[in-house]
Amino acid sequence: MKKHLMEKFINVFGNNKNAKVYFAPGRVNLIGEHTDYNGGHVFPCALSIGTYAVARKREDNLLRFYSTNFKRLGIIECSLDNLVYNKADRWTNYPKGVIWALKKKGYNVTTGMDILYHGNIPNGSGLSSSASIEILTGFVLKDMYNFSFDSIENALIGQFAENNYNKVNCGIMDQFAISMGKKNHAIFLDTANLEYNYVPITLENEQIVIMNTCKKRGLGESKYNERRAECEEALKELQSVINIENLGQLTEELFEEHKNAINSSVRTKRAKHAVYENQRTIKAVTALKNNDIAQFGKLMNDSHESLKNDYEVTGIELDTLVAEAQKAPGVLGARMTGAGFGGCAVAIVHKDYIDTFKTQVGTAYKEKIGYPCEFYVVDTSDGPTIL
């Protein structure tokens, strides 16, 4: 891969003098969805699919970006002195946003760069291709300029760029999962205070299977910001009757006791999801630590149900894929993963049944939705590395 990427870099930028090759993973979230901007817990892991970069410093202040995934866009250029968001700059708004965020935080990027990106995360699949680019860019710049920030700070810089430059009001999960990834482990993260621990996920008889609806997320971003606003409003209403800072501080019982303070049935459902999903995530991690995979799978199924009925972020494609997966033999649990509105789902499947699973779920999905889904049996991975 390294040699192949270097060759591409030479084709695009003329030679590879002083160039280095880097990798950052993608992520899949096993449980704890739409909890990360509500002060709740998440349980994602970093994946062996992700984004590669070949990068070097320039002597002037020009930034030159190229992606093998968007070849027809060619090299997209921008000056270090003019790091403003520009829709026409397309995907390069992600790396530009990170360089902008670094400067805002006092890390002075003094020269331009040539960077070639190559990703093998399917675009729009909800496996965090954009956060992967952000974390990779932060990691490349840290290495090139000897910046002193750590991996958690890199995650925060990526999130800051996404929120303030690309204007998607995301939580910290994706950037944290990618920056802090650890092979064979998922990260149990409390998003209220960024306390975390690594939990081994080397399953004896089962495997994690990712299923892609192949429906691009489309309207996802505006709906995402809308859900977030609904939760913030519900929190304010609850704060009139109980002293809390976020929905993650509520148990199911406390929520039921005080939910009448929320003056809309829609907001009550949204807040209910945030509270119950957080508690489910805590229970799921306990189940996994106790080697109770069956219980973990059941909680995954409950999570999907709540995302479908209370949070309303699934849609016919994800619901069909998950329902078919849950019916298939050898499946312990299945749910949508990521923001929703299309993208991917994740299932825990007994190793002996993986082939039957793919055939059965794949056939049923195509019959009902009209186009095929995809399956990825993936490995977990460490965070960003120099290759």
Cα(374)–Cα(328) distance, rounded to whole angstroms? 16
Report the nearest approach of ligand GLA to the CB of residue 312 (Å): 13
Report the nearest approach of ligand GLA to the CB of residue 42 (Å): 7
Cα(163)–Cα(24) distance, rounded to whole angstroms? 20
Report the nearest approach of ligand GLA to the CB of residue 131 (Å): 7
**How many residues of this chain bind ligand GLA (CB under 6 A)?**
10
Report the nearest approach of ligand GLA to the CB of residue 119 (Å): 16
- Between 315 and 338, whose beta carbon lies closer to ligand GLA? 338
Site for ligand GLA in 150-179 (CB under 6 A): 170-171, 173-174
Neighbours of 371 (CB within 10 A): 10
62 - beta bridge partners? 79
Phi-psi region of 15 (alpha: psi -120 to 50; beta: other; left: phi over 0): beta
Cα(107)–Cα(61) distance, rounded to whole angstroms? 15
- The first and second tokens of residue 68, run together, are 């093998």
- Between 55 and 189, whose beta carbon lies closer to ligand GLA? 189
186 binds ligand GLA (CB under 6 A): no
Q: Are 39 and 246 in contact (CB under 8 A)?
A: yes
Of 114, 174, 190, 302, which one is the catalytic site residue?
174
Report the nearest approach of ligand GLA to the CB of residue 339 (Å): 4
- Between 34 and 335, whose beta carbon lies closer to ligand GLA? 34
- Between 174 and 302, whose beta carbon lies closer to ligand GLA? 174
Report the nearest approach of ligand GLA to the CB of residue 79 (Å): 29
One character per residue 317-356, x = contact with ligand GLA (rule: CB under 6 A): ---------------------xx-----------------
SS3 category, 23? strand
277 binds ligand GLA (CB under 6 A): no
280 binds ligand GLA (CB under 6 A): no
- Between 279 and 360, whose beta carbon lies closer to ligand GLA? 279
- Between 43 and 66, whose beta carbon lies closer to ligand GLA? 43
- Between 55 and 155, whose beta carbon lies closer to ligand GLA? 155
Q: Which residue in 19, 22, 34, 307 binds ligand GLA (CB under 6 A)?
A: 34
Told to judge if 174 belongs to the known catalytic residues of this protein, a careful annotator would answer yes
Cα(87)–Cα(75) distance, rounded to whole angstroms? 15
DSSP 331: E
349 - beta bridge partners? 207, 331
**Distance from chain centroid for Cα 357:** 25
Q: Which residue in 28, 30, 36, 119 binds ligand GLA (CB under 6 A)?
A: 36
- On the CB side of 6, CA atoms within 13 Å amount to 10
Listed in sequence order, the residues at least 6 apart from 125 whose beta carbon sits closer than 8 Å to its beta carbon are 212, 343, 344
One character per residue 40-79, x = contact with ligand GLA (rule: CB under 6 A): ----------------------------------------
SS3 category, 311? coil
Q: Which residue in 8, 33, 206, 259 binds ligand GLA (CB under 6 A)?
A: 33
DSSP 380: B
124 binds ligand GLA (CB under 6 A): no
Quick one: the chain helix, strand, coil %, rounded to 5? 45, 20, 30
Report the nearest approach of ligand GLA to the CB of residue 338 (Å): 5
Distances (CA, A) of 330 to 297, 351, 358, 377: 11, 8, 11, 15
Q: List the one residue out of 170, 267, 270 whose CA is nearest residue 221.
A: 170
> Which residues make up the interface to ligand GLA (CB under 6 A)?
33-34, 36-37, 170-171, 173-174, 338-339
Residues annotated as catalytic are 174
